[in-house]
A and B are shown apart, each in its own frame.
Chain A
Amino acid sequence: SQQGEEDPQALSIQEGENATMNCSYKTSINNLQWYRQNSGRGLVHLILIRSNEREKHSGRLRVTLDTSKKSSSLLITASRAADTASYFCATEGNNRLAFGKGNQVVVIP
């Protein structure tokens, strides 16, 4: 079965607000990654958090991982119109990444 199910599916916020997305998974993982996809384009890697890490920051991004609950969250602070995209979590296991369905985020200027 496909791992990584983001919740909520769609989010619309005003520029400057924070955006939070969640992801749950079902099996043990080595790491969890977040990717961004602009409409009609390929995915771009944002951040990777390893199974022994609980929180990680990269610029305006903050990722948390709770392996006991098998869940992760991605927070984008001070959102910008350019952050409008779909965001996917992906869990790594058995030499491959399994992607979730994605969160569509719309940042209104």
Chain B
Amino acid sequence: SQTIHQWPATLVQPVGSPLSLECTVEGTSNPNLYWYRQAAGRGLQLLFYSIGIDQISSEVPQNLSASRPQDRQFILSSKKLLLSDSGFYLCASSSEGMAATTNEKLFFGSGTQLSVL
């Protein structure tokens, strides 16, 4: 099965500072990759997904961007953080080659708790 490495576990950043969260995947190749954000006590909001290197789709307009420089590396970034960017960020990966069908589960990283002050 897959292993999703996500770091850091917690992060406290001032408003206006940059952000870079990294996620790497082991145990599969050519996965679909996802960034979700979870507000306290809420469900998951899909931010970005990627079906391949340099192929990124954004789900909601926002202050964040994503990049996929390698097959199993997914990075979430911001040039200037806002207070509203605070939340729990989760990286997820699907089984390999599931761009056409998604009858498979997602594997999640352990998450990054971001606090913007």
Residues of chain A touching chain B, judged by Cβ–Cβ distance below 8 Å, are 2, 4, 30-31, 33, 35, 40-45, 48, 50, 88, 92, 95-102
Contact = CB atoms under 8 A, between A and B. Distances in A.
The SS class assigned to the B binding surface is strand
A33 B105 contact: yes
6 contacts: A30-B101, A43-B90, A43-B106, A44-B108, A45-B105, A92-B102
Contacts of A101: 42-43
A-B pairs, 10 with minimum CB distance: A42-B108, A45-B105, A99-B44, A101-B43, A43-B108, A99-B43, A42-B110, A92-B102, A42-B111, A100-B43
Interface of B: 4, 6, 32, 34, 36, 42-46, 49, 51, 59, 88, 90, 92, 99, 101-111, 113
B88 to A, nearest CB: 8
B24 to A, nearest CB: 14
Given A95-B99, A102-B43, 8 more contacts: A41-B110, A42-B108, A42-B111, A43-B90, A92-B102, A96-B49, A99-B36, A99-B43
Given A4-B43, A96-B46, A48 B4 contact: no
A97 B45 CA distance: 10
B4 A42 contact: yes
B12 to A, nearest CB: 15
A41 B105 CA distance: 17
Contact of A95 (B32, B44, B92): B32
Nearest to B43: A101
A100 B34 CA distance: 16
B103 A31 contact: yes
Contacts of A35: 106
A27 B88 CA distance: 27
